[in-house]
Amino acid sequence: MATCYRHPGRETGVSCSNCDRPICPDCMTPTSVGMRCPECAKQKTKVHRGPAVLGDEPRVTIAIIVVCVIVFLAQGSFGARESGGSIYEHFALFGPYVDRGDYWRLVTSGFLHSGIFHIGFNMYLLWVLGQQLERVIGSVRFGVLYFTALLCGSFGALVQTTESGVVGASGAVFGLMGVLAIEQRRRGYDPFSGGLGGLILINLVIGFIPGLNIAFGGHIGGLVGGLLAAVGFTVADRMRRPWIGYAGCLALAAIAVAGAIAVSGNLHSYSL
């Protein structure tokens, strides 16, 4: 639990809406834009109109959805659970191919889907989570977090199996769940009280149901990657050095890629 920057002996879960420093009840000054610390409360707040209040439009979210849909249509398989074809063969995540040097599969697999229900569910969650997060944290940070989680998800999927092809944006989407949980937490909200925690748990449990052939390793890897990346940005913002957050994401992505390459040559498949 963080402590008030003016009263180190007092724990608090609330941060200044302007500088993000933790503040206790005695230091909270209610304003039209949330609680502020005494110093920031004295500053005049610039008034913005329209979308500027919320931040960026969800351009990256929309772009990712459009690319996923275009690739799905190009695959030409529109059944409930379909996979195959030249696109799947050249871009899906498959351990032996990554081991031989097809490193692009760590990214491209996140834009492929195995059926209409698969892409429909992932794109719905991506839109719900993405349009919330991107407006709040900005398009650049959102894009960095998304692709960091995607790479961590690919690493997790290969840790689980290198004997089966894996596709889908699920790892990155789970990463967004983790990012949103940290973002809500640092703003003083309990992720479990709003249903986000339950959504994460339900989707994790679904991944372990026998017979569904879901790469639960990708879900776990993406979730852990998103959580760690979001914590990194939280620390960086408190230090007022945003570059540390980007550096942390770069380090996470590098570790994920190195780990994925290291395990890709070992044939294995773990399931419950």
Task: Please give the positions annotated as active site.
Answer: 170, 219
Cα angle, residue 107 at apex, residues 265 and 149 outer, rounded to 5°: 100
DSSP code string of 22-88: B--GGG-EEETTEEE-HHHHTSPPPP--GGGGT-S-SHHHHHHHHHHHHHHHHHT--SSS---HHHH
DSSP code string of 84-153: -HHHHHHHSB-HHHHHTT-TTHHHHGGG--SSHHHHHHHHHHHHHHHHHHHHHH-HHHHHHHHHHHHHHH
Residues 6+ apart with CB under 8 A from 216: 160, 204, 207, 208, 272
Task: Say whether 234 sits in a helix, a strand or coil.
Answer: helix
Residues 6+ apart with CB under 8 A from 37: 5, 6, 16, 18, 19, 21, 23, 27, 28, 29
- On the 0-12 / 13-18 / 19+ scale of CB atoms within 10 A, 109 is buried
DSSP code string of 165-190: -B--SHHHHHHHHHHHHHHHHHTT--
DSSP code, position 163? S
